[in-house]
Structure 1
Amino acid sequence: MPEVTNDIRVEIEQLVAEHHWLLDHGQADRLHTLYAEDAVSVGPLGTMVGREAIKSWGERRVKINAGVVRHFSGGTRLGFENGVLCGTTYYMTFRGSQPDPLHPASVGEFREQYVRIDGRWLIQRREIVPVFGGNNAAAHAKRVAAGGGE
């Protein structure tokens, strides 16, 4: 079974951090570059299949006022399962649109699978699993899908 080296860990943690940074800084239209062509994303936003679907979502996201949001993550656990690199990362999301923006809007896990393509790790599958605040996450996803933000 392959080993998770320090280099792999650093690359995956940077991939997750870049995902959050792009989303939090109005550049969701670039998120698709972090995903494999046939990637799948599942969560409160619904299911998106393929890089093009993720790109379309990101392009819509930057055109609306989604408000101030910040993602904090850590505790990433990585391991190979049946030859596939898998990870679980804990997250907290804060939104300026919450009644008290100092309390997390959502707390949960990103459950991911990664694939190495052309020497670069990409997200093959991302499942967003809210543990606390799932209703907040679903309501925000619905506002974003309808073209509104705050």
Structure 2
Amino acid sequence: MAATQARPRRETMLVADSQFDYLGVSPELRADLTALCTEYVWRLDNGHAARVPELFTEDGAWTGPWGVMRGRAELEKAWTARAQRDVRTRHMLTNLRFVRHAEDRASGQVSQIVFVANGDAPFPTDPNIIAENIDDYRRGGDGIWRLENRRIAMLADKTQP
């Protein structure tokens, strides 16, 4: 019998510092936060990027490879500019994990695969971006959960030269 070689161990990238207690999250909270994350990408993918800031708290922040946007005014300026670009995207979300910290506070990590194209179909079948959204959520006095902080951790990006 021939000896088998051990496969080299691959290090995985740790993108979140927290461990999430998925068993401590109610089905209602999971549904609310999943709906929020889905609405965010739906707006991007369907020509409503200018309305993404509504999904953030007034003091909300977005941090990613294209910079940092803090507060409603910066978010509105950036997402309005995104809405005017001739780029088509389709975001696929998976591995949504959440933890509740208080009645009105939660955190989460969401994996995303993004397909990006300019112009009309047919679009590429290979993903352009693989990333993790590291989120903090806050429920407002109106009972609606919003993004307080979203950090995009890029794992792969074919859109950059």
1:63 aligns with 2:84: yes
Q: Take 1:80 and 1:58, find their aligned partners in 2: how far apart are those partners?
A: 28
Larger helix proportion of the pair: 1
> Which of 122, 138, 153 does residue 129 from structure 1 map onto?
153
What is the distance in 2 between the residues matched to 1:91 and 1:42?
15
Tell me the distance in 2 between the aligned counterparts of 1:12 and 1:49: 21
Unaligned runs of 5+ in 2: 1-20
What is the rounded CA distance, in whole Å, between the counterparts of 1:91 and 1:11 in structure 2?
A: 18
Using the aligned pairs only, state the percent identity: 26
Alignment of 1:8-27 (within 5 A): 8-27=29-48
TM-score, with length taken from structure 1: 0.81
Following TM superposition, where does structure 1 have runs of at least 4 consecutive aligned residues deviating by more than 2 angstroms? 80-84
Name the SS of the counterpart of 1:19 in structure 2: helix
- The structure 1 residue matched to 2:127, chosen from 91, 104, 111, is 104
**Corresponding residue number in structure 2 for 1:40:** 61
Match of 2:99 among 56, 79, 84: 79
How far apart, in 2, do the equivalents of 1:43 and 1:50 lie?
15
| Alignment match, 2:13 | none
Gap runs ≥5 in structure 1: 141-150
Residues of 1 paired with 2:144 and 2:125: CA distance? Answer: 36
Alpha-carbon separation, structure 1, partners of 2:85 and 2:127: 22
Query: Which amino acid in the other structure matches residue 62 of structure 1?
Result: A
Inter-partner Cα distance in structure 2 for 1:60 and 1:32: 12
CA RMSD of aligned residues (A): 2.1
Aligned length in residues: 133
Q: Structure 2 CA distance, aligned partners of 1:33 and 1:45?
A: 20
SS in structure 1 at match of 2:47: coil
- Match of 2:125, SS state, is coil
Residue type at the aligned position of 1:131: L
**What is the distance in 2 between the residues matched to 1:101 and 1:12?**
29
Please give the TM-score of this superposition, normalised by the length of structure 2: 0.76
